[in-house]
Amino acid sequence: MPILPIDSGRYGSTEMRKIFEENTRLKYQLQFETSVAAAQARIRMIPKRAAEEIDRIVISNLVNLKRIRELESISEHDTAALIEALSEQCSVKTRPWVHYGLTSSDVVDTTISMQLHDVFKIIESKILTLTDRLLHKAHEFDTQPAVGRTHGQHASIISFGLKFAVWASEMTKHLERIEEGKKRFLVCKTLGVVGTGSLMGNRALEVQRIVSLNLHLYPIDASTQVISRERFAEMQFIIALIGCTLDKIATEIRNLQRTEIGELAEPFRSGQMGSSAVPVKRNPIKSERVSSLARLLRPLVIVSMENIPLWHERDLTNSANERFTIPMAPILLDEMLNLMTKVISELRIDREKIAANIKITNGNIYAEFVLDELIKKGVPRFEAYRDIQRIAFSSTGLNFFDAIRHDPKLSKLLSEKELATIFNPRDHLAASSKIISNVSKMARQFRRNISINPIQSRFK
């Protein structure tokens, strides 16, 4: 019976969860074993017939989880049970060459890298899709003036589309981080008990190079018995960082969907219930779920950093928690990307409400531009600043435009025609369209520079 929501399929896509299922993990492990045997046979370290037999057994699916569990119940060592189950299927002449020169951590750590290789194919593809959706919204609303808020207060005019462009830019930066990080955390190790390649001697690095190439990984340059955990900590950090950006987007959507603001709303399908008690509510539950899962992602980085200082050439203090943290992070991020892509794709945006919110402060939102115009006319900055503040704070209920027009001092400096231009929101989008265009260009360029295969695991 499933215990965690991940186990029940509540979170994450089928293709992502499949990567971490036990049967799939076993296939990764066996692929590693046969790849090592093939590499060793290639340089005549072990007999060619032995490598071919190991490969036949792996392809034939003769090694199964049931037998591995039976053996593990005796040995209390899951990787040793795997090797024993594989050896049982081999002839007497081949058995000595199964897992030759390796240690269990070679299997475990390289398997993690193989899983992550497939994980990031999925994540990158979904980030690209989300980025496309964000850029579509950015262009759609690039000339839509809206309230820009700082400290929760109306500050100045912003292009509503610029919000989406900022998010798209950050998602592109995440793709850059992933591509740059792959050479550090998608690594292969075949160097045995303490990282010297002891039994394989001076040909150990050649074996590792061949295996790495075959598995589409990077050969580790130096290690102890285990791959240094700084590498997986970086992976966890990148995943958490992507999650934080999704949380940022979700938080903005939740705020803009507030009844008092009402500039946008999550998709709400027919038959959906927002509240069990209040039939008219449309709660931003998908964005709230993204924010909730982000709170779970961030602490996983701390756990991964705690795993870095191991005793000497290794201990097992990282092992148990990584059985949770390494599958959890990609599966949760996958869920968050799916949710946010759906939200952005079907987001309901109310142009009339956006325009109406600009007027809430009775024109005070144009104070930045009034200040700028006065400075250009030669008024010292802080003299102009205090005059604007005086008028704004004392003209309760009066439109800021009219308050300036009737002020004895500022009315002499600013004509009604100049004020009309200042108080036109469409005149204050500045470089917004150019910024949005630049982000689109950057995203297109990055897409051309990377090669992401269709979403699929290496195992059906």
Q: What is the dihedral of CA 244, 245, 249, 254, to 10 degrees?
A: 10
Given the residues 275, 394, 406, 415, select the one marked as catalytic. 275
Cβ neighbours for 292, distance < 8 A, ≥ 6 positions apart: none
Beta strands in 237-326 (DSSP E): 264-265
Is residue 282 within 8 A of residue 274, CB to CB? The reply is: yes
d(CA 66, CA 377): 84
> Phi, psi (5° rounding) for residue 235?
-60, -45
151 is catalytic: yes
Half-sphere exposure of 26 (CA within 13 A, CB side): 21
d(CA 304, CA 291): 21
Pick from 1, 67, 5, 32: nearest CA to 327:
5
Given the residues 60, 73, 151, 312, select the one marked as catalytic. 151
394 is catalytic: no
Pick from 291, 211, 283: nearest CA to 247:
291
Is residue 312 within 8 A of residue 101, CB to CB? The reply is: no
d(CA 443, CA 130): 12
Q: What count of other Cβ atoms lies within 10 Å of the Cβ of residue 14? A: 7
Q: Which two tokens stand for residue 386?
A: 């205090």
Half-sphere exposure of 40 (CA within 13 A, CB side): 28
Report which residue type is found at 243.
G
Q: Name the residues annotated as catalytic.
A: 151, 275
